[in-house]
Structures are given as structure tokens and as C-alpha cells.
Amino acid sequence: MPAPCTPSQTVGPFFSIGLDHLNRANLAEGSVGERFAIRGRVLDGDGEPVPDAIVEIWHADAAGHYHHPEHVSPPSEATSFLGFGRIPTDERGQFSFTTIKPGPVHGPDGKPQAPHLQISIFMRGLLKRLMTRIYFPDEPLNASDPVLQVVPELRRDTLIARPTKQDENTLEWNVCLQGERETVFFDC
Amino acid sequence: MKPLLGYRKPAPGTQPSYLYPPYVSSIKRAPKQPLISIPVTLSEITGPTFLKEIASPTAFDLTRQHKGEPLGERIAVSGRVVDEDGRPVQNTLIEIWQANAAGRYLHKNDQHNAPLDPNFTGEGRTSTDDDGRYRFITVRPGAYPWKNHYNAWRPQHIHFSLFGPAFATRLVTQMYFPGDPLLEFDPIFHSVPDEAARRRLISSFDWLSTQPDLSLGFRFDIVLRGRNATPMER
């Protein structure tokens, strides 16, 4: 019987040395689809900004296709979309990135999931990564999304990006590690 | 349609909890609400794949990134990446970073009063081969003080970041060295409750990868999450 999974350890404060080479805040480059930007902040239990976090993004292309061998479906014109991004937070705990809106990916029962981004968060003080999702506001499929359905209704809005005054293609999504508005994190 | 197979949950005690108060930074950053278990979807069993070229042929050798050679004890760190069923994890990106031989990181926030080495950045990456094997050449990192508690020192370690085949298999960990007396006092190492699991973070001295007149060798095998055998397993 092989050993169980190697334990996770924190990225610590100096991860930029090894991880910066993959920093990518514009996932949309060279891809088709509706462009939008997400901006937000990572806040700790005191509401203080976390200046040493890293946010990783994984999502499907505009046709709802993942650039991955396990997603077997007819290739779409968007297949050059890699779907990966990595952004460190700045001194004020802020991050922002630009990407394309993913299409609906089919869920476990064959019905479509609402468009969403898969998010991993790492930082000093986190002994293992946090996993969460970003959903879109005013998206009819949110009502039947199989993952949102298992989240208590009162906490669902922590997963849904909010419109901003800036423009209709800029959304805000914050990560609260603790507190009344604690973001929903997943075990998957 | 075919049911999707997810990845197995870790055995109890083999992973740290988010909150481990002896590691002081975890107190304000660990979520307080329990994680929410979600159904397996394509979004978790897919994940980014990178072209082999992302790791240039020289990126595995941290001793050849500058004009001169870095100071310190030259070591080879090698091993195999497999899943919990022992299957090799092929062609997956590994990123590493570490302090130099004096225990100093090339980072603006590292205030430790130890010298930087102009010939050492402390960054490496490579891709596993078809058998899941990888190898880095580097120097043994020094221990260094940190502010967690009075007279706190981190044991010598190298940070490892791996993707594996899926979003679900992403892993960031640290490799330690055998016989390091500081391990006993390190809250990050001790955040893993299960002793056997914790010990798997310690590399072993590897006579076979030692090169005469050149470098000592350490072996660090990494296990990523295995796949559920049936869709019903949770």
C-alpha cells in the first residue's frame, strides 16, 4: 500500500522567488470571449489586508471547455485558451485580473453548472491552500448550480462577484478569511 | 453519461488543519467556518497543464544561474512523484524556492542579517519524466531565525509547488533534511498531527545520487492525491 498524500506546508512569505515566473494577470490574451476584470482584496480576521497572498485561477473557455485531456468534447474556436492565472496581492492586499467569461460546464448530473472560476489561495499563515469559486452576478444558472446549492443560502453571496460603478465589465470579489462575511471555502 | 471520478480525501491526521495556534500567523488567517464538501465536477478533476518548455533545460540547476558558483554545500535533490496508488505523475511542473547557504532569501522582506549570495537566486523548476522522476541541483539552504516566538528558527528546508493532473491535486509543501535538530521545535513541521505523515516531509540521504567529487544527494518522494475507484466514495 503506497503512502498517503504528502502533507501540505505553507508557502511562507518568500514564495515570489519561485512562483513569480508564472504570474499572469491577463488570461484573456489571444482568446475569444466576453472580457471582464475582477478586482478584490484579501482580508484577515482583523479586516486587515493580506499583502503576501497568491491567488490562482483555473477556468473553462467561452464555450465551457477546459483545456485538459479529461474534458472530451468537440474542440471549440476558443481552445487556445489555457485557463490558468496567478496573481500575488499587493501591499494593500489587492489583486486584479482580466479574463474571458467561461461558458457553462456540465455538472455531475449532466445539467450545466453556472459559469464560474476555480480559485486557489495561498499565503503565509495558511498551512494548506484554500479552494473557492467566483460566480457571476445576474446569471440565471446560479439558481440551479450544483455547487451553489450545497452552500447555505445566507453565505452564497460570498461566492458571487459584485458589479462595480467603474464599468459593467469590472466586477469586485473579496476574500474574507474570517468574520461575518467569511468567504465560503470548499473541500473537493 | 459516465460518472466522474473525484480524488480521495486525505486520511485523518495526515494533513495540517488550517488553525494551528503554535504557528501564530495561522490564527488570523485560518477560516473559522468548516469547509463545505462539494460534488465532483469537471472543474475539480481538470487543471492547468504546462508545456515542458516552461521549465528551461537549465532551470533545474540552481548552481548555474549566475556567472559564478554559489557558496555552500552542493547537493542533488531527486525523487519520484506518484499518486496514492503508486502511479507516476508524468510531465508535471515542479517549482522550488529556498534560502541560500547562509539562510537568507533573495527577497526584499527578508531582514535576516546573513549575507546574500550574488551567485544564488534560490529559484528552480523542472518537469517530471514519464516515470514521475525529477532532479534538482542546488546548495543546502541554511536555517534562519523568524519572529514566530522567542528564539524561533526554521529548520533547513526547500519549498516545493506541484500541480499534478487536476485542480484537486495541487500541492505546496516543504522538504526537510534528515537529522535536523531544529525539526523538533518547528511549529510548521509539527502542524501535521500524524507522525508518520510528518516524517514523509523529511528527505533521506541518498548515497546513489551522490556524485564523487561533486555533490551529496538527497531523495524526496512526493505523493499526490489518488483517484477514487468508484463515484460513490467520499
- The domain segmentation of chain A, as residue ranges, is 20-176
Give the percent of chain A with pLDDT over 90: 82
**Structure confidence by residue, pLDDT tens digits, B152-175:** 999 999 999 999 999 999 999 999
On average, the pLDDT of chain B sits at: 95
To the nearest whole percent, how much of chain B has pLDDT over 90?
Answer: 91
Q: Which of B177, B154, B172 is nearest to B104 (CA)?
A: B154
Share of chain A above pLDDT 70, in %: 95
Is the CB of residue B234 less than 8 Å away from at least one CB of chain A?
no
Provide, as residue numbers in chain B, all residues whose Cβ is less than 8 Å from the Cβ of A84.
48
> Is A45 within 8 Å of A179 (Cβ atoms)?
yes
Q: Which domain holds residue B83?
A: 42-223
B30 in contact with A at a CB cutoff of 8 Å?
yes
The interface residues of chain B toward chain A in range 109-128, judged by CB-CB distance below 8 A, are 109-110, 121-125
What's the pLDDT score for residue B234? 42
User: B61-117 pLDDT, tens per residue?
Assistant: 999 999 999 999 999 999 999 999 999 999 999 999 999 999 999 999 999 999 999
* Residues B228 and B87 sit within 8 Å (Cβ to Cβ): no
Nearest residue to A45 via CA among B24, B36, B189, B193: B24
Please indicate, yes or no, if residue B234 is contained in any of the structural domains.
no
**Catalytic residue flag (residue B159):** yes
The verdict on whether B144 is a catalytic residue reads yes
8 Å CB contact between B14 and A9: no
Element (H, E) at A42: strand A35-43
Domain-embedded: residue B14: no
The CATH number of residue B66's host domain is: 2.60.130.10
pLDDT at B33 over 70: yes
| Mean pLDDT in residue range A117-135 | 98
The reply to whether residue A17 touches residue B29, judged by beta carbons under 8 angstroms, is no
What is the reported pLDDT for B58? 86
User: For residue A76, is pLDDT > 60?
Assistant: no
Strand partners, B152: B146
Residue of A77, A45, A50 lying closest to A61 (CA atoms): A77
Which residues of chain A make contact with B110, given a CB cutoff of 8 A? 13-14
Site from B5, B25, B29 to mutate, A interface, most A CB atoms within 10 angstroms = B29
A22/B contact by beta carbon, under 8 A:
yes
Nearest Cα to Cα of residue A172 among A61, A57, A36, A46? A36
Q: What is the average pLDDT across A84-106?
A: 96
Instruction: Please list every residue in chain B whose beta carbon sits closer than 8 Å to the beta carbon of residue A106.
Output: 1, 42
d(CA A121, CA B84): 24
* Cα B73–chain centre separation: 20
Kindly report which listed range (A94-98, A107-111, A165-169, B85-89) carries the lowest average pLDDT score.
A107-111
Sign of CA dihedral B87, B91, B95, B100: positive
pLDDT interval class at A77 (50, 70, 90): low
Please tell me the distance from the alpha carbon of residue B188 to that of residue B190, in angstroms, as a whole number: 5
Taking the Cβ of residue B202 and every Cβ of chain A, the question of whether any pair is shorter than 8 Å is answered with no
Structure confidence at residue B229 (pLDDT): 84
Q: Which residue of B has its CA nearest to A53?
A: B29
- Name the pLDDT band for A79 (thresholds 50, 70, 90): low
C-alpha of B140 from chain center:
15
Candidate from B46, B123, B168 with C-beta closest to A18? B123
Scan for cell 498517503, then name that residue: A4
Contact B13, B194 (CB under 8 A): yes
Give ipTM to 2 decimals: 0.96
Does residue A186 contact residue A131 with C-beta atoms inside 8 Å?
yes
Instruction: Name the active-site residue from B7, B20, B23, B144.
Output: B144
- pLDDT, residue A47, reads 97
B61 touching chain A per CB within 8 A: no
Q: Is B20 a catalytic residue?
A: no
Catalytic, out of B8, B112, B159, B200: B159
Query: For this structure, is B157 an active site residue?
Result: yes
Amino acid at site B50: F
pLDDT for res B97? 98
Say how many domains are in chain B.
Answer: 1
Average pLDDT, integer, range B30-34: 98
Closest Cα in chain A to B24: A125
Nearest to B159 among A15, A52, A123 (CB): A15
Residue with cell 503565509: A124
Q: Identify which of B227, B168, B136, B206 has the alpha carbon closest to the alpha carbon of residue A8.
A: B168
pLDDT computed for residue B233 by the predictor: 45
The fourth-level CATH superfamily of domain A20-176 is Aromatic compound dioxygenase (2.60.130.10)
Active-site hit among B20, B105, B134, B176: B105
Instruction: Please give the Cα distance from B81 to A176 (Å, whole number).
Output: 34
Residue A3's beta-bridge partner residues? none
Per-residue pLDDT, averaged over A43-57, amounts to: 98
Amino acid at position B19, single letter: L
User: Rg (Cα) of chain A, in Å, rounded?
Assistant: 17
At residue B205, does pLDDT exceed 50? yes
Cell numbers describing residue A16: 515570489
Do B105 and A14 make contact, defined as CB atoms within 8 angstroms? yes
Mean pLDDT, chain A, whole residue set: 93
Which pLDDT score, from 0 to 100, does residue A11 have?
Answer: 98
Q: What is the C-alpha separation between A161 and A102, in angstroms, rounded?
A: 14
Whether A188 and B167 lie within 8 Å, measured CB to CB: yes
Give the C-alpha separation, A99 to A134, whole Å. Answer: 13
**What pLDDT sits at residue A140?**
96
| A residues 130..159 contacting B (CB < 8 A) | 130-131, 133, 146-147, 150-151, 155
Give residue-wise pLDDT tens across range B183-195.
999 999 999 999 9
Question: Which residues in chain A have their CB less than 8 angstroms from residue B58's CB?
Answer: none
Contact (Cβ atoms closer than 8 angstroms) between residue B81 and residue B224: yes
Reduced 3-state DSSP string for B107-168 = CCCCCCCCCCCCCCCCEEEEECCCCCEEEEEEECCCCEEECCCCCEEECCEEEEEECCCCHH
